[in-house]
A and B are shown apart, each in its own frame.
Chain A
Amino acid sequence: MKTIQVNEIIEAVEKLCIEANYDLGADVMLSLKQALTTETSPLGREVFERLIENATIAHEERVPMCQDTGMTVVFVEVGQDLHIEGGSLTEALNEGVRRGYEKGYLRKSVVKDPFDRVNTGDNTPAIIHYDLVPGDELHITVAPKGAGSENMGALKMCKPSDGLEGAMQFVMDTVDKAGGNPCPPIIVGVGVGGTMEKSTYLAKKALLRNVGVHNKEARLARIEEKLLEQINKLGIGSQGFGGMNTALAVNLEVYPTHIAMLPVAVNINCHSARHKEITLKGRDE
């Protein structure tokens, strides 16, 4: 039996919260630079230049790229042979968020009650997704999600007869309707199959995949490419100002579903595409 102390988890999450908000992923930076070379809209090119400059300032001056430092979504893979010592894992993750948002001068954007809307003051509680996996490690991904893009997500319980074509149409419609709201260039997470909640979970999880990394299944990778091509023909462009580059990537995840169901979920991410991860290894007691 291997052991991890909660303090180690708290420190790791604190660091991930700050890095996710300060440091644009190298994959996204590369993708922005590529988009700059293909963009024919002068305004669009200017937007890409400013986004690259913004990411550089945030990284060098250690400040958040965006003022919406998000609701903190945490994906945790817990090795089933691992023992966590010193307190509750959930509380440790939340404590890490609390410290990260305070020390990193990140905005506290969480309200305690959806109706009363009083700020919790420390950006907790986080949204935590647990997955129990073989082994004795703890893998943590922190993916702060801003409201501008999250509000543009959608779910449709399509009919099986709608098929791939109907599912793709729903993705297109969702992106088209969102327009400039979710801060294009966007990354489009698509979850298809399972049940209602499974598809939305997959759509969010799809956003953890780096730009340029396709689904391992070739047929799904082709759908991603086709969707990306079609989305970029919509003309929405960076920030919705019109242009050739509306999305940087479409990431699709699928899951077995019911004979009578075809759930399709779309979770749009802005160009900050925040996600940072770490693997903590258990130690012998």
Chain B
Amino acid sequence: MTEVIRLETPLTHEKVAQLKAGDNVLISGVIYTGRDAAHKKMIEALASGEKLPFDMKDQIIYFVGPTPPKPGQVIGSAGPTTSYRMDAYSPKLIAEGLTGMIGKGLRSPEVIEVMEKYGAVYFGAIGGAGALIAKRIVSAEVIAYPELGPEAVRRLVVKDFPVIVLIDHLGNNLYDIGKAQFERA
């Protein structure tokens, strides 16, 4: 087991500055969900001067669309979705104050540039570990776009939610660092 950093939300810039690519982090506190359709709606809301479902300042968005909860469950299986589909939208939300994103997979150079400019972190949750991750979610409440079903924006309270820092605020990228370390010619 690698060393674990415990992180409480909100994710302030002071906390952002301490995280580096490859760090093993357990997040506790409030995070918000949003994936393809919710991002599209939020960007449309921004363009037309409407309010966003929540204040982005120092917040974390988790790219996820959970399965329906079984009776007695807080949320269904809830692993990360692939992040590059949010690349077109993330820079605008980071400019609004968003400091953290949780997903899986590669991000575009444009997103990384904006993360460096404003100071934001991209975390990875383990793709396909939806049943395990759901156990770290204490409560879930739909706060916007209920018509989107699994894609609705939810406010989650999480406890020891396991993530890895994939890209830090300096643009260090675990996908590059890790691959280079293990690549064999």
Residue of B nearest to A24 (CB): B128
How far does the alpha carbon of A242 sit from the alpha carbon of B69 in the complex, in Å? 33
Q: Are A64 and B130 in contact (CB under 8 A)?
A: yes
- Report the tally of A-B residue pairs with Cβ distances under 8 A: 169
How far does the alpha carbon of A69 sit from the alpha carbon of B13 in the complex, in Å? 36
How far does the alpha carbon of A187 sit from the alpha carbon of B79 in the complex, in Å? 19
Partner of B2, one of A42, A69, A235: A42
How far does the alpha carbon of A234 sit from the alpha carbon of B181 in the complex, in Å? 10
Q: Are A181 and B81 in contact (CB under 8 A)?
A: no
Q: Are A107 and B105 in contact (CB under 8 A)?
A: no
Residue total for B at the interface (Cβ-Cβ under 8 A): 49
A9 → chain B closest CB, angstroms: 25
Q: Are A43 and B77 in contact (CB under 8 A)?
A: no
Known contacts: A106-B67, A107-B67, A107-B68. The answer to whether A66 contacts B130 by CB under 8 A is yes
Q: Are B175 and A179 in contact (CB under 8 A)?
A: yes
Interface residues as binary, A45-80 with B (CB distance below 8 Å gives 1, 0 otherwise)? 011001101110110011111111100000000000
Interface centre among A51, A53, A240 (most CB of B within 10 A): A240
Within 8 A of A (CB), among B107-154: 124, 126-135, 149-150
Q: Are A58 and B67 in contact (CB under 8 A)?
A: no
Q: Are B84 and A239 in contact (CB under 8 A)?
A: no
Q: Are A67 and B126 in contact (CB under 8 A)?
A: no
Q: Are A181 and B82 in contact (CB under 8 A)?
A: yes
Partner of B104, one of A62, A233, A239: A239
Known contacts: A57-B131, A180-B104. The answer to whether A107 contacts B178 by CB under 8 A is no
Residues on A with C-beta less than 8 A from B134 are 63
A272 → chain B closest CB, angstroms: 5
How far does the alpha carbon of A54 sit from the alpha carbon of B149 in the complex, in Å? 24
Q: Are B183 and A67 in contact (CB under 8 A)?
A: no
Residues on A with C-beta less than 8 A from B64 are 67
Q: Are B128 and A65 in contact (CB under 8 A)?
A: yes
Interface centre among A67, A107, A236 (most CB of B within 10 A): A67
Residues on B with C-beta less than 8 A from A20 are none
Within 8 A of A (CB), among B62-88: 64-70, 73, 76-79, 81-82, 84
Q: Are A237 and B78 in contact (CB under 8 A)?
A: no
Known contacts: A105-B76, A242-B179. The answer to whether A64 contacts B126 by CB under 8 A is no
Residues on B with C-beta less than 8 A from A105 are 67-70, 76
Q: Is the interface of A mostly helix, strand, loop or mixed?
A: loop
Interface residues as binary, B1-12 with A (CB distance below 8 Å gives 1, 0 otherwise)? 110000000000
A119 contacts B by Cβ under 8 Å: yes
B17 contacts A by Cβ under 8 Å: no
How far does the alpha carbon of A119 sit from the alpha carbon of B147 in the complex, in Å? 10
Partner of B150, one of A41, A107, A242: A107
Interface residues as binary, A203-240 with B (CB distance below 8 Å gives 1, 0 otherwise)? 00000000000000000000000000000011111011
A92 → chain B closest CB, angstroms: 24
Q: Are B162 and A50 in contact (CB under 8 A)?
A: yes
Residues on A with C-beta less than 8 A from B175 are 179-180, 240-242
A138 contacts B by Cβ under 8 Å: no
Residues on A with C-beta less than 8 A from B106 are 179-181, 240
Known contacts: A119-B149, A237-B182, A242-B177. The answer to whether A54 contacts B132 by CB under 8 A is yes
Partner of B66, one of A46, A51, A67, A239: A67
A147 contacts B by Cβ under 8 Å: yes
A141 → chain B closest CB, angstroms: 21
B17 → chain A closest CB, angstroms: 22
Identify 5 new A-B residue pairs, CB closer than 8 A, beyond the known A67-B67, A105-B69, A241-B124.
Answer: A46-B2, A66-B129, A233-B185, A240-B179, A242-B174
Q: Which residues of B contact A (CB under 8 A)?
A: 1-2, 22, 24, 37, 64-70, 73, 76-79, 81-82, 84, 104-106, 124, 126-135, 149-150, 162, 164, 174-175, 177-185
A-B contact pairs, 9 of them (CB 8 A): A50-B126, A50-B129, A51-B128, A57-B135, A63-B76, A66-B128, A107-B150, A179-B105, A242-B177
